[in-house]
């Protein structure tokens, strides 16, 4: 089964059996009968699939497809952060390594973070990592105070507020859709905030005919395919750079997918005890967001 995240290049999305956001892809990985999963996304996503489905062969087109959030949250530093707050419940965004998941009480994705945090006991303080922008948004939506790990996504931090304001001036009727990994000053200018799947659903359900999209532009491929009558604008980084494309996601190419299928490599491997420790908070997430 070929799974693809919405941030993959259009050609990969076009050959995938299933395209989704992080939560939907985890569910697919957990539920499929296929013996081999080619996970077209970044490492933590394929690793989550392996944690959920250890008997399956889980391949990733490029093993170096990391994530700035996961890379900037080393397990030992996270353990020290937790040790400073021993009475806290640890909620970790799925964009982290298995070693960080293994230390967490609960995993969340951008699509269920608010709902999950709201379900946590009101008398327990909460640690949230590794994305401080998502954490601040969850805080504002859930009414719970979170102690935040100071990480961020290099892609969602590049969007230029000036370019966004310029697009809003040029297209005053356009609805602004934003991923919660964006910085607060950009989220303040958004009409709708949600995960990649939520943004796609919103663009279909909204009466607006044009949208300014503050997330990785891979999602525009699906938006344009599914809604050919609507117009979508991507927001560039400062100086008009194309740094809004995730450099990790874009390491995967159609050629590398083909290579995976031919050679059944590179495969994700995990030490069993680490897998079991990381599995518990993921299963809790799936149960709580069923
Ligand atoms: P989603 O939860 O929308 O899949 O987001 C994943 C991600 O990596 C965003 O940068
Ligand atoms: Fe990680 Fe950001 Fe790329 Fe998502 S867009 S995979 S959070 S670096």
Task: Let me know if residue 202 belongs to a domain.
Answer: yes
What is the structure's pLDDT at 237?
79
Query: Among 24, 28, 181, which residue has the most ligand 1 atoms within 8 Å of its CB, making it the best to mutate?
Result: 181
196 in ligand 1 pocket by Cβ < 6 Å?
Answer: yes
Q: pLDDT for 44-98, tens place per residue?
A: 999 999 999 999 999 999 999 999 999 999 999 999 999 999 999 999 999 999 9
CA separation for the pair 110, 128 (Å, rounded): 13
Task: Let me know if residue 165 belongs to a domain.
Answer: yes
Q: What is the 3-state secondary structure (H, E, C) of the chain?
A: CEEEECCCCHHHHHHCCEEECHHHHHHHHHHCCCCEEEEECCHHHHHHHHHHCCCCEEECCCCCCCCHHHHCCCHHHHHHHHHCCCCCEEEEECCCCHHHHCCCCEEECCCCHHHHHHCCCCCCCEEEECCHHHHHHHHHHHCCCEEECCCCCCCCCCECHHHHHHHHHHCCCCEEEECCCCCHHHHCCCCEECCHHHHHHHHHHCCCCEEEEECCCHHHHHHHHHCCCCEEEECCEHHHCCCCCCCCHHHCCHHHHHHHHHHCCCECCCCHHHHHHHHHHHHHHHHHCC
155 in ligand 2 pocket by Cβ < 6 Å?
Answer: yes
How many A from CA of 123 to the centre of ligand 2?
Answer: 32
What is the structure's pLDDT at 290?
74
What is the structure's pLDDT at 274?
98
Spans in the chain with pLDDT lower than 50: none
203 in ligand 1 pocket by Cβ < 6 Å?
Answer: no
User: Residue 282 maps to which CATH number?
Assistant: 3.40.50.10800
What is the structure's pLDDT at 243?
80
Q: How many other β-carbons are positioned within 10 Å of the β-carbon of residue 134?
A: 29
Query: Among 182, 246, 251, which residue has the most ligand 2 atoms within 8 Å of its CB, making it the best to mutate?
Result: 246
Residues 78 and 210 in one domain: no
CA separation for the pair 37, 50 (Å, rounded): 9
Domain membership of residue 81 as a residue range: 69-153+277-289
Hey, which residues does 212 pair with through a beta bridge?
176, 233
Task: Let me know if residue 62 belongs to a domain.
Answer: yes
Residues 147 and 185 in one domain: no
Task: Let me know if residue 170 belongs to a domain.
Answer: yes
What is the structure's pLDDT at 183?
96
Unique residue bearing structure tokens 């905030």: 193
Task: Let me know if residue 174 belongs to a domain.
Answer: yes
How many A from CA of 69 to the centre of ligand 2?
Answer: 7
Task: Let me know if residue 61 belongs to a domain.
Answer: yes
Residues 91 and 149 in one domain: yes
65 in ligand 2 pocket by Cβ < 6 Å?
Answer: no
Task: Let me know if residue 241 belongs to a domain.
Answer: no
252 in ligand 2 pocket by Cβ < 6 Å?
Answer: no
Residues 32 and 88 in one domain: no
CA separation for the pair 62, 39 (Å, rounded): 10
How many A from CA of 111 to the centre of ligand 1?
Answer: 9
Residues 73 and 131 in one domain: yes
How many A from CA of 127 to the centre of ligand 1?
Answer: 20
Total number of domains constituting the chain:
3
Tokens representing residue 63 in the block: 């093993």
Residues 86 and 37 in one domain: no
User: Nearest-CA neighbor of 103 among 79, 125, 80?
Assistant: 79
How many A from CA of 132 to the centre of ligand 2?
Answer: 13
178 in ligand 2 pocket by Cβ < 6 Å?
Answer: no
Instruction: Sort strands 146-148 and 192-193 into parallel, antiparallel or unpaired.
Output: unpaired
Residues 139 and 281 in one domain: yes
Residues 189 and 221 in one domain: yes
108 in ligand 1 pocket by Cβ < 6 Å?
Answer: no
How many A from CA of 268 to the centre of ligand 2?
Answer: 19
Question: Which whole-number Å values give the CA distances from 180 to 54, 199, 248, 284, in the listed order?
Answer: 31, 11, 19, 22
Residues 60 and 79 in one domain: no
Task: Let me know if residue 244 belongs to a domain.
Answer: no
What is the structure's pLDDT at 236?
83
110 in ligand 1 pocket by Cβ < 6 Å?
Answer: yes
């Amino acid at each position: 089964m070929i799974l693809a995240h919405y941030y993959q290049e259009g050609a990969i999305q076009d050959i995938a059996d299933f395209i989704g956001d992080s939560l939907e892809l985890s569910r697919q990985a957990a539920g499929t009968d296929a013996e081999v999963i080619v996970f077209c996304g970044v490492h933590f996503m394929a690793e989550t699939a392996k944690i959920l489905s250890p008997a399956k062969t889980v391949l990733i087109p490029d093993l170096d497809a990391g994530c700035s959030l996961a890379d900037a949250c080393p397990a030992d530093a996270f353990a020290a952060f937790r040790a400073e707050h021993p009475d806290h419940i640890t909620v970790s965004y799925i964009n982290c390594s298995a070693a960080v998941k293994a230390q967490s009480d609960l995993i969340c994705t951008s699509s269920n973070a608010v709902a999950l945090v709201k379900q946590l006991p009101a008398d327990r303080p909460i640690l949230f990592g590794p994305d401080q922008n998502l954490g601040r948004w969850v805080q504002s939506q859930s009414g719970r105070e979170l102690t935040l790990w100071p990480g961020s996504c290099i892609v969602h931090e590049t969007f230029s507020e000036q370019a966004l304001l310029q697009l809003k001036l040029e297209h005053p009727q356009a609805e602004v859709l934003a991923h919660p990994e964006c910085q607060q000053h950009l989220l303040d200018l958004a009409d709708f905030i949600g995960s990649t799947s939520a943004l796609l659903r919103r663009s279909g359900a909204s009466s607006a005919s044009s949208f300014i999209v503050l997330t990785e532009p891979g999602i525009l491929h699906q938006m344009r395919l599914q809604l050919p009558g609507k117009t979508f604008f991507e927001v560039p980084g400062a100086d008009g750079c194309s740094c809004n494309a995730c450099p990790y996601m874009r390491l995967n190419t159609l050629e590398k997918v083909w290579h995976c299928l031919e050679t059944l490599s590179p495969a994700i491997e995990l030490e069993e005890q680490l897998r079991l420790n990381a599995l518990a908070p993921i299963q809790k997430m799936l149960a709580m967001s069923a």
